Amino acid sequence: MKHFFWFSVVFILGCQTTPKSDPETNKKFNEFLDKKFDEMLQRNPEFAASLGLKYNYGQWTDRSIEHSRRELKIKKDVLDTLLQFDKSKLDDQSLLSLRLYEEDIKNAEEARKWEGYFYELNQMGGVVTDMPAFLVNVHVVDSLVDIENYIQRLRNFKYPMEQTIENFTGTKNVNIGYTEGDVQAGIEFIYHMREHLLDVGVATVFALTVYGLVLFMKAKIK
């Protein structure tokens, strides 16, 4: 009889329905999150390109410290809106998205404590290798427009490098083991590579122009 009683309790509890999520609330939650993610990709064209999206395809992502600060402010504003949704109406996937978004902001705030301490060059590379690698491996050329955007990125090569130099100039790395000479050497190396890459860029622009003309002629023949 005792076993039957506990079986009955477990059966009844198991049959009780948990509060169901509201489909309309989840739809609005995810549409808002998707919209904000899309806006973030518009502001970060290199990241968008790595996902196969050609947003602002001729531009480089802003590398300034101010850009990082703006992005964090935008994230916090987005979170404020997300927290206005009734959690009891969100499904597990939406709740997970919310927790991950909160964790991302916590990590970004923690990273701000070390703002200015990042050494822009290291044994694994830096802006002088990352940008050429991006053009080779990420910027896909499928059309004349893609070629035009590629050329635009080559012509604007100097701007992200100048931002990197500016970040380097204000670095606090001298407080954690690097000398003023290390920082100055890094800045001079970026200047040197910038001029070299600009020279390479001129030759690449010529080659892409010829390639563009070939594509144009093929399209005309068809």
pLDDT per residue as tens digits for the range 1-14: 444 433 343 333 34
Give the span between the Cα atoms of 164 and 169, in whole angstroms.
Answer: 9
Token output for 45: 């064209």
Residue 120, Cβ density class (10 Å: 0-12 exposed, 13-18 middle, ≥19 buried): buried
- Number of folded domains that form the chain: 2
The last residue of one of the domains, among 115, 137, 163, is 115
Alpha helices in 113-179 (DSSP H): 127-137, 144-155, 158-169
- Count CB neighbours of 138 within 10 A: 13
Q: Look-up: residue for tokens 């502001």?
A: 43
Residue 149 and residue 174 in one domain: yes
Tell me, yes or no, whether 2 lies in a domain: no
Domain with 101 in it: 19-48+56-115
CB 188 within 8 A of CB 121: no
- Local confidence band at 38 (pLDDT 50, 70, 90 cut-offs): very high
Q: Is residue 99 part of a domain?
A: yes
Q: Which residue has the higher pLDDT, 24 or 158?
A: 24
State whether 149 and 215 are in the same domain. yes
Higher pLDDT, 15 or 87: 87
* Pair (105, 143) in one structural domain: no
pLDDT in the model for residue 149 = 92
Number of H helices, E strands in the chain: 9, 2
d(CA 209, CA 151): 9
Of 115, 133, 166, which residue sits at a domain end? 115
132 lies in the same domain as 182? yes
Distance CA 113, CA 217 (A): 55
8 Å CB contact between 160 and 120:
no
Residue that finishes a domain, picked among 115, 136, 160 = 115
Cβ pair 162, 62 in contact under 8 A: no
pLDDT tens readout for residues 53-99: 999 999 999 998 899 999 999 999 999 999 999 999 999 999 999 99
150 and 60 assigned to the same domain? no
